[in-house]
Structure 1
Amino acid sequence: MNKPLLSRLWKSLSYLGVGTDMTYLEVKRLHMVNLIAITCVPCMLFFGIINFFEERYFLAGINVANSSFCLVVLILQYYRKYEMAKIILLGVSFCFFYFGALFYGNGGENFLLCIMIVCMLLYDSRTIQWFAGVFVIAGIVSVKLYPTEFLMIDHVVRGRVLTNTLGALIFIVIAVYFFKNIIYNNMMLIEEQRKKLQLLNQDKERIFSIVAHDIRTPLSTLDGLVYLLHEQVLDGTVSEEYILQLQRQIAQQKEALDDILYWSSRSMRGASNSITTTSVLDVMSTIGKVYESACQLKSLQLIMEIEPNFQIKVDRDHLMIVARNMLSNAVKFSHSGGSIEVWVSEENAYGFLHVRDHGIGMGKEQADHLFHTIQQRSLGTGKEVGAGLGLLLCHELIQQNNGMVRVSSALGEGSTFSVGFPMVTHA
């Protein structure tokens, strides 16, 4: 019980005065000041007691005063008087260590080096760093050159000098190690931020690519519908049903655009995947409506055989993008008057969505590289233009959702695309 209590007390004191608005470097500098003050309070008090019983009352007074001022430093840190706390810690410690070394020869001049190192770690100003360096060097030289016969009081025992010297050297090693960790952690944070910016930039490029790919085909469909409407206007045979169909197509394509922009905004904010239980039938019914007019223009029969309770674990927005690309390519490369089959299957705890067309197909070499490189722009059977990016983007989304993808194709016979995600098991 005591150990956790002491641990919590140590942590609360070492991070005394830390604010949420402080940078990483500011927190570490404040942490360093607290650690020095916390360490000095008991150490100086201990040596003060020893010096008192050895009748070195002046040195004991120096030790106790140093301990008291370190307590003042902690109080100032608590009230966020950071600059005043640093000045007292460095200035008072310098005076006490200097006069202790000068009058008692206790090796306190070695702690002046510690003060110089701490000053250089706490301040970025070169003027302050040079001033501290010159001041410390002058203090050490004056102690070394001061004639021993003029000392006010006898030297402390040699063991005490050795203890102070070792303590100063250990402190220097710890300070350098502490500063090294600060630099290393800063470099790690910078590297993490660089990677995050790189990912955000990739997401931005991916977003524009998705918009370019997934909006192009519906707009081409709209263009065809408007052309046919224009022909009907010229023939004087415009039907209300045809206008309603055009209106529905525009609304559905707007919905598709909203889905893409929603997913895009989530990616730009760096949001993680929202993997949830998703109904495949619900997703494919929505996408089927988007490409209903495109199928009608090419006289394609869209056949869906999906069980209502067939569910998989996937980010719904990502599945929408993947499924939309699969159906878009099936429509694009199908011959007029053909058919597109969509069905599902279960295999090794994975639920697969299959989309098969009977269009132009592709060779094995092209199929092997389909999901790993940007494809050249290609024309569909109805002269539809593709951006060559859709499947590559789908592959990235599939990987993010712990999925897998397969393709089976032959020239002149059509293609079958299968994408699988973890299956939702029902008790």
Structure 2
Amino acid sequence: MEDVGKDRLILNSALGLLFLTALVLYHQSIQNKYQDHIKEQSLKILQLNNDLKHLLAVIAHDIHSPLQATSMMMDYIANEKIETENRENSLLLVNKQLKSLRSNLDNLLEWSRMNMGGIQPKKDKILLHNLILNAVESFEVRRSEKGIKIISEIHPSASIVADPIQISIVLRNLLDNAIKFSHSGTNILISTKEAPSAVELCIKDEGKGMSESQIQNLFQGVGEPSYGTFGEKGTGLGLVLVKELVEANNGAIKVHSQEKVGTTFLIQFPK
């Protein structure tokens, strides 16, 4: 056989190295794509787990508060701590509360079923007046027990574009907090302020209020548990969910508070 020339040998060697280098790079790119895909799937699974935890937390929170109030009212009736003339009204109130609880639970379960693949807002035009009336009604027992008056100044035509069930969860969480930390005989004011492209919803109480450090940790789910004016325990986890649901609907939430004066939550939504 004819000997391969030195130049040809160098060229063949260079081409061989180039081919091997290209093969290694191609293999690495495939590996990197697989790694990126695995990482993306892991993040999706982590997000889905977080969403499912939030779904369970929302359901537990929305069942626990009204159920606890209804149970307390039934104890009063059973132990004859309520005068005879008021017993019938109390039973009617409990029945109304249970119907509201069942309706809320049905909505939450349906919403959970629709969001098993991850929480996604299903936006529609919402009339705030009706949504707030339903939310207020679900706290009738607790409101009456503490002698708190809830005043709604929402115009019947005030509307936003958002997920109705998610915003209902937001409202019930904020009202739950307002009642929990309000003093007996005080007022909770619900009002709106309209701008050309947005609506600002305001929920203001005359309760315990918060310090600056409490406000800073409010939406983080950290810090010591707080207690309401009747010793009701609060974790702050509901407000973490509130912030996430508000932002998922392109909204923004702010809070102003002063100790021993009260707290105001301001939520801005697009129309």
- TM-score relative to the length of structure 1: 0.56
Report the structure, 1 or 2, having the larger strand content. 2
In structure 2, distance between residues paired with 1:346 and 1:368: 27
Residue in 1 that maps onto 2:266: 418
| Residue in structure 1 matching 2:137, options 285, 289, 309 | 289
Aligned 1:395-414 pairs, distance under 5 A: 395-414=243-262
Given the alignment, which residue of 67, 82, 100 partners 1:219?
A: 67
Deviations 1:73-97 (A, max 9, x none): xxxxxxxxxxxxxxxxxxxxxxxxx
Q: Which has the higher helix share?
A: 1
Query: Deviation per CA, 1:154-198, whole angstroms, max 9, x where unpaired?
Result: x9xxx9999998877665454433322211111111000110111
Aligned CA RMSD, in angstroms, stands at 3.1
1:368 corresponding residue in structure 2: 216
Does 1:313 pair with 2:161? yes
Judged with a 3 Å threshold, the aligned counterparts in structure 2 of structure 1 residues 310 and 160 are, in CA distance, closer, same or farther, namely farther
Name which of 40, 43, 56 aligns with 1:208: 56
Query: Which secondary structure does the structure 1 equivalent of 2:48 belong to?
Result: helix
Q: Which runs of 5+ in 1 are unaligned?
A: 1-147, 150-154
1:256 counterpart = 2:104: yes
Q: Is residue 193 of structure 1 aligned with residue 5 of structure 2?
A: no
Structure 2 letter corresponding to 1:193: Q
2:183 to 335, 346, 351: 335
Contact 1:375 1:389 in 2 (8 A): no
Structure 1 counterpart of 2:93: 245
Shift of 1:357: 1.1
Ranked by relative contact order (alpha carbons within 8 Å, sequence separation 6 or more), the top structure is 2
Contact 1:280 1:310 in 2 (8 A): yes
Report the residue type matching 1:179 in the other structure. H
> How many angstroms apart in 2 are the aligned matches of 1:234 and 1:169?
92
Counterpart of 2:230 in structure 1: which amino acid? G
Residue equivalent to 1:394: 242
Q: CA contact under 8 A between 2:251 and 2:268: conserved in structure 1?
A: yes
Structure 2 unpaired stretches of 5+: none
Shift of 1:331: 0.9
Q: Distance in 1 between matches of 2:198 and 2:208?
A: 29
Distance 1:223 1:190 in 2: 48
Q: CA deviation at 1:271?
A: 4.6
CA distance in 2, matches of 1:378, 1:211: 21
Whichever residue aligns with residue 218 of structure 1, its letter is: P
In 1: Cα distance, 2:207 partner to 2:244 partner: 26
Cα separation, partners in 2 of 1:414 and 1:271, compared to 1, 3 Å:
closer
Q: Is 1:221–1:294's contact at 8 Å kept on the other side of the alignment? A: yes
Note if contact 1:374-1:392 (Cα within 8 Å) is conserved in structure 2. no
Structure 1: how far apart are the matches of 2:232 and 2:73?
14
Report if aligned partners of 1:312, 1:421 keep a CA contact under 8 Å in 2. yes
Distance in 2 separating the partners of 1:236 and 1:330: 31
User: Does the 8 Å CA contact 2:125/2:160 hold for their aligned counterparts?
Assistant: yes
In structure 2, the CA distance between the partners of 1:309 and 1:236, relative to structure 1 (3 Å rule), is closer
1:246 & 1:287 partners in 2: Cα distance? 16
Indicate the larger mover: 268-277 or 398-407.
268-277
Matches of 2:150 and 2:249, distance apart in 1: 27
Tell me the SS of whatever aligns to 1:268. coil
Matched position secondary structure for 1:194: helix
User: In 2, are the aligned partners of 1:376 and 1:388 still within 8 Å (CA)?
Assistant: no
Identity %: 31
Shift of 1:326: 0.8
Secondary structure, in 3 states, of the residue corresponding to 1:195? helix
Count matched residues: 271
Cα deviation digits, residues 344-403 of structure 1 (max 9, x gap): 112473211111111222223322332234343222122222233111221122222222
Partner of 1:353: 201
Q: Secondary structure at the match of 1:308?
A: coil
Matched ranges for 1:14-413 at <5 A:
148=1, 172-232=20-80, 239-347=87-195, 349-413=197-261
Deviations 1:250-285 (A, max 9, x none): 111122233333444444312532233222222212
Cα distance per residue 1:303-356 (max 9 Å; x no partner): 111122222222222211211111111111112222111011124732111111
State the TM-score, normalized to the length of structure 2.
Answer: 0.85
Query: What is the CA–CA distance in structure 2 between the aligned matches of 1:234 and 1:285, rounded to whole Å?
Result: 27
Q: Distance in 2 between matches of 1:203 and 1:284?
A: 25
Measure, in 1, the Cα distance between the counterparts of 2:175 and 2:81.
31
User: Which one is further off, 235-244 or 410-419?
Assistant: 235-244
